[in-house]
């Protein structure tokens, strides 16, 4: 059944290769295309090039797999949007913010399938309480510098929640419009949006 070229087998043993990652990659692609609940484990296994049973060597259940995948995507997005502390620390917090926003927007637009999966997970009721708790912790970390920035007068005096809503909300809507084919994302459109976002939160 081995279809395409097999990877240049890991020397020493055939280890639990990056099979796990292959499974997750397939999950992202298929679920973004067919939906969380129209993607059977069998299809997932076929696409990843493993047997159905193999999935259960890496994840205890479909639900657990989705939850793990969700958290890994959040982490990946967090890494992709992290701004070096050096930039924040220097007197250019405004630039740090622009960097962050553009990275967040870019991530959602460059990885439509991953962004879509995050969206599906949030809407469906598949995420466990534990996952939600971990997510909130990550979110809190990511916005740790916010209070400092407000204190320095970088941002207007608003709560973190309002800040996040004003900053991230527009990105999510743009991403969704793009998914439905309603719009094409251009640099001009992004810049215009960022301009609006700045007016709403920057002091």
Which residues are near a second copy by CB under 8 A?
A: 33-38, 116, 119-120, 122-126, 132, 136, 156, 158-159, 161-162, 164-166, 168-174, 176-177, 180, 182-183, 189, 192-193, 196-197, 199-201
35 binds, among a second copy, DNA, none (CB under 5 to 8 A by kind): a second copy
Among 137, 30, 14, which residue's Cα sits nearest to residue 75?
137
Round to whole Å and give the CA distance between 197 and 171.
10
Q: If DSSP codes are grouped into helix, strand and coil, which group holds residue 202?
A: strand
Quick count: other Cβ atoms within 10 Å of Cβ 179? 15
Round to whole Å and give the CA distance between 99 and 194.
11
Paired with 155 in beta bridges are 202
CB of 67: closest distance to DNA in angstroms?
Answer: 12
Round to whole Å and give the CA distance between 165 and 54.
41
The answer to the question of residue 192 lying near DNA (CB under 7 A) is no
CB of 68: closest distance to a second copy in angstroms?
Answer: 19
Q: Segment contacting DNA (CB under 7 A): 35-43, 102-110, 124-132, 150-158?
A: 35-43
Site string for DNA, 39-78 (x = CB under 7 A): xxxx------xxxxxxxxx---xxx---------------
């Amino acid at each position: 059944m081995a279809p395409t070229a097999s990877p240049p087998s890991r020397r020493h043993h055939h280890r639990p290769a990056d099979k796990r990652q292959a499974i997750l990659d397939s999950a992202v692609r298929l679920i973004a295309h067919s939906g969380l609940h129209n993607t059977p484990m069998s299809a997932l296994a076929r696409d990843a090039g493993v047997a159905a049973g193999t999935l259960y060597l890496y994840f205890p259940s479909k639900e657990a797999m989705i939850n793990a995948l969700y958290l890994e995507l959040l982490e990946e997005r967090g890494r992709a949007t992290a701004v070096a502390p050096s930039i924040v620390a220097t007197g250019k917090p405004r630039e740090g913010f622009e960097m962050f926003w553009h990275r967040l927007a870019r991530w959602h637009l460059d990885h439509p399938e991953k962004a879509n999966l995050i969206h599906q997970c949030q809407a469906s009721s598949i995420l466990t309480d534990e996952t939600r708790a971990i997510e909130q912790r990550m979110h809190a970390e990511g916005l740790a510098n916010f209070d400092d920035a407000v204190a320095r007068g970088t941002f207007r005096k608003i709560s973190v929640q309002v800040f996040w809503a004003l900053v991230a909300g527009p990105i999510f809507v743009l991403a969704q419009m793009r998914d439905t084919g309603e719009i094409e994302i251009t640099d001009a459109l992004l810049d215009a949006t960022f301009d609006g976002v700045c007016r709403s939160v920057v002091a």
